[in-house]
Amino acid sequence: MTRRPRAASSSKDRDQTSLRLSDPYLDRERTRYPHPLPSREWILHTLEQEGVPVPPERLVELLDIDADEEETFARRLNAMERDGQIMLNRRGAICMVNKLGLVRGRVQGHPDGYGFVIPDEGGADLYLSSWEMSKVLHGDRVMARQSGTGRRGRAEGAVVEVLERANRRIVGRLVEEHGICFVVAEDKRISQDVLVPREALAGAQPGQVVVAEIIQQPDRHIKPLGRIVEVLGNYADPGMEIEIALRKHDLPHEFPETAQALARKLPKTVRETDLAGREDLRGLPLVTIDGETAKDFDDAVFCRTEGKGFRLWVAIADVSYYVRHGDALDLEAWTRGNSVYFPRRVIPMLPEELSNGLCSLNPEVDRLCMTCELVVSPRGEIKDYRFYPAVMHSHARLTYTAVADALAGRHEAVPARLLPHLQDLHRLYQVLAKARGQRGAIDFETVETRMEFDDQGKITAIHPVERNDAHRLIEECMLAANVCASAVLQANEHPALYRIHEGPTPEKLADLREFLREFGLHLGGGDEPRAKDYARLLETIRGRPDYQLLQTVLLRSLQQAVYSPENVGHFGLAYEAYTHFTSPIRRYPDLLVHRAINAVLAGETYDPGGWAQLGEHSSQTERRADEATRDVEAWLKCYYMRGRVGEEFSATISGVAAFGIFVALDEVYVEGMVHVSELGNDYYQFDAARHQLLGERSGRRFRLGDRVRVRLVRADLETTRLDFVLADEASGPKAKKH
């Protein structure tokens, strides 16, 4: 925000009646700045009191800003303009945005060229036409106003001002048409092409995957302009899908030198000086149980029977001992938020010296740990627990497969000395699982997949991952430790990040009940159903041929789990309080919880600064990782299916939208789409509540969970789309007439 200079003001010795001295936030500003300016709140109050747009010179006079303060004051006004609190009108006067009926929000683009403004303050989205989207890119923060109402009653918007540009670089494919070069973004929500002058190609060839730095953002008159800063290679190169995902989702994948240097300074092994104040658990036969390909071991377990009950030790890597608040490792861990697990590659939250070395509970070496020791009753109730720092020595690195084999009678799968302990762990799991069922936790059955690759890194097969009792055993132990972590923090009234999971919204609940009525089913609990109500319904429908359909609809009615300092409980697990404690190597919230528990043990308080912001950031990095891994898996599956175009498959409808149906193939474990135009010569009405498309004339219905026979007609690597058509014209049952 530029302003015309004014003459130097009078002395800083202000009259006590100065409007500036009436700022109720003045004391707060004094704690932040040696020479405090009027607060943002008081600036807005002053503008509101004036009641009209205020010239900058008038505001300077009203707030008694001295000449030597003008530059700093201008920066504050610029920041308020950037955040969408104020703006200049055409006459150069300062206006309050909320008085202009403007909406601040983030742009969400659509592959078809249009988009939406998602308001910062909530409320209905504003539709942006392709013309309005020509001024911005997906992710930009803007100020917009409602410009009208569309035919469907949807509010349409116009971009007034761009507050913040989200895209500095984009990854995409370099294309040349009619002598003009441009980059087509991999993120299809960015529908504008980025023009690249010949002199800015940096040797890139058409068809290659590149990274372009945007040197001129779009506006209503020009397209975005860029220059090539990195050439990644060709689409089919091994690992290219991961390189694209890293840049598309802005995933940090190279550790800064400051973090690497700090990691190199750490010892390679546990030293005698590290053991002060720790309990010695090296004599306990603690073991890790993980997947075959795991390299970072967060947790080790040991259980023994005590009378009719159990004593369980859950030892977790003591990352907080090595990664201290505010150091370079901590800042990078916060930035990443979590490790990201791609097929064949991991992007760790911490450098390998820690994630696979010093912090990993590797076999036959001493490691520092934070231990949760629990006493569990024969009925699966946690009767007592305590947390303490310790040193441990993992007695074996076991896999889920080996432990499951041993528990099934193939005892040679594990060392004989460990078998009795594993059997005790299994008995503990059985009582904990029974208690979980009585508590009413929801147990959804989902299928995870594992990809196989050849020596050239090409995908050769996709297999389902069979969950066995070893998976469930570890899961129950981790749940118990996480519950105790939340309990100790609550008991000591220490703030923390909880893992919260809220139940269905009123709108989703109404849709769910309407859907269930068609099947003669009822979800208990009235307007506020509990997890137990979901669990009871799942139990009554288990074994039905439409079980998968009903389970999917029940699952989709729930909200997404997030991190928050406001504990509202975990709906799905039926816990009143739950937090993440067991994976500090790969999740930043767990590291924060460890620090909070250490503070409780020391009689202190850990304040990382802004628990709410930390929760929002951790939730965002988790979503970012999920989106990136989904992209990579979709590309790999598309590559795998390229050689199967023309083949027919049996499939289940896994999703329904106005533009078509999504199908999941049996035994192949990939998904694709049948466009609505391929469903037959009819008009199809989309019913979101019933998850179906219904033909107006034919009465043919395509509903979530229905079985269909499809044929693959296209596998497009650039869009990672698999397109199918119905193989049988009779596919799709007719709806019953009521």
What domains can you pick out in the chain, each with its CATH number? 19-98 (1.10.10.10), 101-164 (2.40.50.140), 169-234 (2.40.50.700), 257-446+465-495 (no CATH), 645-726 (2.40.50.140)
Q: Which two tokens stand for residue 501?
A: 């999971």
Q: In what order do the strands lie in the sheet with 279-280?
A: 279-280, 382-393, 366-376, 309-317, 299-306
Q: Is 668 left (phi over 0), alpha (psi -120 to 50) or beta?
A: alpha
Output phi, psi for 421, to 5 deg.
Answer: -70, -40
H or E element, residue 438:
helix 419-439
> By mean pLDDT, which of 514-518, 521-525, 609-613 is the weakest?
514-518
Distance CA 421, CA 64 (A): 75
H or E element, residue 28:
helix 26-32
Task: HSE, CB side, 13 Å, CA atoms: give it for residue 566.
Answer: 5
Over 50: is that where the pLDDT of 4 sits?
no
> By mean pLDDT, which of 388-392, 522-526, 584-588 is the weakest?
522-526
Would you tell me how many other CB atoms lie within 10 Å of the CB of residue 649? Answer: 21
Query: Strand, coil or helix: what is 507?
Result: helix
Would you tell me how many other CB atoms lie within 10 Å of the CB of residue 689? Answer: 13
Residues 1-10 have a mean pLDDT of 42
User: Percent of the chain, pLDDT > 70?
Assistant: 96
CA 376 to chain centre: 34
Residues 137-161 have a mean pLDDT of 85
Q: pLDDT digit string (tens) for 233-251? A: 998 888 899 999 999 999 9
Residue 623 banded pLDDT, cuts 50, 70, 90: very high
Residues 510-535 have a mean pLDDT of 89
Nearest partner of 293 among 401, 403, 182, judged by Cα = 401
Distance CA 456, CA 468 (A): 31
Higher pLDDT, 351 or 690: 351
Q: Which two tokens stand for residue 576?
A: 């009143």
Kindly give the interhelix angle for 328-336 and 588-601, rounded to the nearest 10 degrees.
130
Kindly give the interhelix angle for 588-601 and 611-641, rounded to the nearest 10 degrees.
150
Q: Which two tokens stand for residue 514?
A: 């309407």
For residue 207, CA distances in Å to 192, 194, 210, 215, 721 come to 17, 15, 9, 22, 18
Over 80: is that where the pLDDT of 3 sits?
no
Over 90: is that where the pLDDT of 628 sits?
yes
> By mean pLDDT, which of 463-467, 497-501, 635-639 is the weakest?
463-467
Query: Strand, coil or helix: what is 506?
Result: helix
Distance CA 597, CA 497 (A): 12
Nearest partner of 700 among 678, 663, 731, 654, judged by Cα = 731
Q: pLDDT digit string (tens) for 384-403? A: 999 999 999 999 999 999 99
> By mean pLDDT, which of 168-177, 206-215, 451-460 is the weakest?
451-460
Contact 582, 314 (CB under 8 A): yes
Distance CA 379, CA 482 (A): 19
Contact 669, 680 (CB under 8 A): no
Distance CA 717, CA 368 (A): 46
Tokens 């004051």, residue located: 73
> What pLDDT score was predicted for residue 174?
96
Residues 616-624 have a mean pLDDT of 96
Residue 15 banded pLDDT, cuts 50, 70, 90: very low
H helices of 253-326, where? 257-265, 319-322
Over 60: is that where the pLDDT of 568 sits?
yes
Residue 16 banded pLDDT, cuts 50, 70, 90: very low
Distance CA 582, CA 622 (A): 16
Over 70: is that where the pLDDT of 14 sits?
no
Over 60: is that where the pLDDT of 118 sits?
yes
Query: Strand, coil or helix: what is 570?
Result: strand
Distance CA 186, CA 138 (A): 12
Contact 148, 156 (CB under 8 A): yes
Distance CA 478, CA 148 (A): 53
Beta strands in 329-429 (DSSP E): 340-342, 345-347, 366-376, 382-393, 397-399
Q: pLDDT digit string (tens) for 24-76? A: 888 888 877 778 889 988 998 888 888 788 898 889 988 888 888 888 898 89
Residue 737 banded pLDDT, cuts 50, 70, 90: very low
Mean pLDDT, the chain, whole residue set: 90
608, amino acid identity: P
Q: Residue 2: which residues within 8 A CB-CB, separation 6 or more?
A: 74
> What pLDDT score was predicted for residue 735?
52
Over 90: is that where the pLDDT of 212 sits?
yes
> What pLDDT score was predicted for residue 609?
87
Would you tell me how many other CB atoms lie within 10 Å of the CB of residue 139? Answer: 17
> What pLDDT score was predicted for residue 68?
85
Over 60: is that where the pLDDT of 519 sits?
yes
> By mean pLDDT, which of 121-125, 265-269, 589-593 is the weakest?
121-125
> What pLDDT score was predicted for residue 11?
40
> What pLDDT score was predicted for residue 733?
52
Distance CA 95, CA 53 (A): 5
| Longest pairwise C-alpha distance within the chain | 90
> What pLDDT score was predicted for residue 127?
92
Output phi, psi for 628, to 5 deg.
Answer: -65, -45
Distance CA 372, CA 429 (A): 17
* 158-191: burial string, b at 16+ Cβ within 10 Å, e else: bbbbbbebebeebbbbbeeeeeebbbbbbbbebb
- Residue 354 is given by DSSP the state I
> What pLDDT score was predicted for residue 49?
84
User: Percent of the chain, pLDDT > 90?
Assistant: 63
Q: Which two tokens stand for residue 368?
A: 């520092």
> What pLDDT score was predicted for residue 270?
96
Contact 183, 155 (CB under 8 A): no
> What pLDDT score was predicted for residue 734?
55
